[in-house]
Amino acid sequence: MSLGTGLLGVALLYLVVIVFVLCLVGTGFLLLPSTLRLLRRYANFHRGQVGRLTERPLQTTYRDQAPHAPPRSRPSLRDPAVRKDLVWLPAHAIPGSALCLLTLSVCGRVANWLTTPLWWKLAPGERDAILALTVDSWGKAVAALFVGLVGSVIAMRVTWLLARAHGEASRWLLTARPQVRLDQRVRELAASRAEALDAHAAELRRIERDLHDGAQAGIVAVSLRLGMIKRALAQRPEQVPEMVEATQQLTEQALKSLRNLVRGIYPPVLADRGLVDAVRTLAALSEVPVRIDADGTTDRAPAAVETAAYFVVSEALANVAKHSGAQAALVWLRITEKAISIRIEDDGRGGASADAGGGILGLKRRVAAFDGTTELVSPHGGPTVLKVEIPCGS
């Protein structure tokens, strides 16, 4: 197994070298991204192996796969993690393969010694050798068995130690340096901060616009009607009741628009009853039947985080009702000290995508602004699963 992957490593090493040489004449650049992806799969496989062997999982984040990587990012040689893979490949492939060959030959030799008495009995004509002695008697054949036993214990121990050493060396080479991870973290936080500022500005614009077109315009319209009523009182009093009725309707419209705006800023039910009850209210209002799984979740998260989570559920359920054609949906919700985790599933036709813009993109931005993560799985034909995790506080 190790030998197999070791030899695969040698083959990959040849490929990488060839591609780099081709880069010198230009054509290699076309093959570079796919070669680096192949290398990454190979390295990731070993990360899994090494993680299992040393019982500590390895973590490396490639720049193009980071949560805030721009869309359609490709592996780049500028990425420290990619560079480390390139150093690791020869270091792993050449000594690794040699080590495997050595281990195999030692195992073969030990097996040979262990079975020496058997060979002596079955084919006395064959003269085997243990260490410097030629086996030419039962005594030496039995001695070979003991040497074989001792040898196998030593070989097992040494193999295990070598595997550990190889594992540790690989761990060192396969993990991007903590400083690199810190760089990445800084970039992620800078990106999420920019998202937060954008989201905040967009929110302010929306509120200003809603107020301008809704309540403010409504009150001006009411005032205008009142002015007309005042004039009508003197000139055509018979029209007044009808005008008062129309004015009252305008007042109600303005109030409704204000109510909707307030609900859009910070839903009162969220303030009064908490996220779980607020989500239950959303579910009750949904056209598609929604089941809530919030087992024992009674904790409260910071208001801003709860609000973001509430709008995630609200937007997701609106999407389910609008686009999925689902018969049922499930909202799974957990609040811990660290994060709010949400999973929204439906049995609809799938095919939802954040690229198409609209709701999911907005939702993703909202979550990113809180340094949270969004994961959408929605194959054509369904089902759709949306997972969101928003960290609470710092």
* Nearest distance from C-beta of residue 217 to another protein, angstroms: 4
* Nearest distance from C-beta of residue 208 to another protein, angstroms: 10
Q: Which of 159, 168, 30 is nearest to 106 (CA)?
A: 159
Minimum CB distance to another protein smaller for 254 or for 333: 254
Which residue in the set 7, 53, 221, 304 belongs to the binding site for another protein (CB under 8 A)? Answer: 221
* Per-residue binder mask for another protein (CB under 8 A), 230-269, x = binder: xx------------------x--x----------------
Stretch that binds another protein, among 55-63, 163-171, 209-217, 385-393 (CB under 8 A): 209-217
* Per-residue binder mask for another protein (CB under 8 A), 160-199, x = binder: ----------------------------------------
Q: CA angle 143-148-151, nearest 5°?
A: 125
* Nearest distance from C-beta of residue 58 to another protein, angstroms: 52
* Nearest distance from C-beta of residue 219 to another protein, angstroms: 8
Question: Residue 295 — φ and ψ, nearest 5°?
Answer: -45, 115
**The 3-state secondary structure of 378-394, one letter per residue:** CCCCCCEEEEEEEECCC
270 in Cβ contact with 278 (< 8 Å): yes
CA-to-CA separations, 7 to 19, 98, 163, in angstroms, rounded: 18, 10, 17
Minimum CB distance to another protein smaller for 157 or for 236: 236
Contacts of 252 (CB under 8 A, 6+ apart): none
Contacts of 317 (CB under 8 A, 6+ apart): 282, 283, 286, 288, 290, 329, 331, 344
Which residue in the set 194, 197, 224, 303 belongs to the binding site for another protein (CB under 8 A)? Answer: 224
Minimum CB distance to another protein smaller for 207 or for 271: 207
Minimum CB distance to another protein smaller for 27 or for 249: 249
Minimum CB distance to another protein smaller for 41 or for 230: 230
If binding is defined by CB under 8 A, does position 212 make contact with another protein? yes
- Cα gap 185→66, rounded to integer Å: 9
Q: Which of 68, 86, 92, 72 is nearest to 32 (CA)?
A: 86
Minimum CB distance to another protein smaller for 164 or for 256: 256
275 in Cβ contact with 333 (< 8 Å): yes
If binding is defined by CB under 8 A, does position 220 make contact with another protein? yes
Stretch that binds another protein, among 59-67, 216-224, 301-309, 343-351 (CB under 8 A): 216-224
Stretch that binds another protein, among 179-187, 223-231, 330-338, 371-379 (CB under 8 A): 223-231
Which residue in the set 112, 115, 216, 281 belongs to the binding site for another protein (CB under 8 A)? Answer: 216
What's the half-sphere exposure (Cβ side, CA atoms, 13 Å) at 63? 18
- Cα gap 72→64, rounded to integer Å: 8
Q: Which of 254, 159, 157, 177 is nearest to 214 (CA)?
A: 254
Q: List interacting residues with another protein (CB under 8 A).
A: 209, 212-213, 216-218, 220-228, 230-231, 250, 253
